[in-house]
Chains A and B, each alone.
Chain A
Amino acid sequence: GNSVTQMEGPVTLSEEAFLTINCTYTATGYPSLFWYVQYPGEGLQLLLKATKADDKGSNKGFEATYRKETTSFHLEKGSVQVSDSAVYFCALKGDAGGTSYGKLTFGQGTILTVHP
């Protein structure tokens, strides 16, 4: 079945530091890949997505590139802010026709804390 493996956390950074959260996946076919974010006290929300190989998703200064050759979708940000402190989840959705179509498979989540 499909699976997502995320970099173990928690991650603690100083403001303006560079962020990378690693994510690799196992899936058949051509899944779509997502990063979701959960800010303290808030619900889960989509941060960015990529639906085919070599696509780059980007939002709020975050980027991730869909690398089929390495089955990865690492999240990066060049300069983090205190307000980026949250839990980040990598996820995939199976392609149409597959048994995992529609539903999201999540990684275990990475807690990010950014200090001033």
Chain B
Amino acid sequence: GAGVSQSPSNKVTEKGKDVELRCDPISGHTALYWYRQSLGQGLEFLIYFQGNSAPDKSGLPSDRFSAERTGGSVSTLTIQRTQQEDSAVYLCASSQGGSSSYEQYFGPGTRLTVT
């Protein structure tokens, strides 16, 4: 079946602009995660959605970052007033649940470049 998809695959934006990154998880997966991969910081957790529970936002680096998940499926990560340090690959993952029994399947990522 289809895996996790993300769009766009690449995004170049000017400093100060807002961007939206989209994630389509695997159908039926109740858990959805956003991570960021950058040269300086490695792979960092950003936010985690599990079913109808309140999301775990503990990894969001600033209040410029927000995410929502509509209808328990598609998720959008929004970065407002982008800065150059936001340049990274943003990865989305989904799993059948939050337990370690369930593998997290990663999407191909969105490469964000802030100029």
Contact = CB atoms under 8 A, between A and B. Distances in A.
Interface stretch (B67-75, B80-88, B104-112): B104-112
B8 to A, nearest CB: 15
Contacts, number: 49
Contact of A104 (B50, B58, B104, B108): B104
Contacts of B59: 103
Interface string B75-115: 00000000000000001010000111101101111000000
B56 A103 contact: yes
Nearest to A31: B100
A103 B33 contact: yes
Interface string A89-108: 10101001001011111111
Contacts of A103: 33, 45, 48, 56, 59
Given A102-B31, A106-B43, A43 B56 contact: no
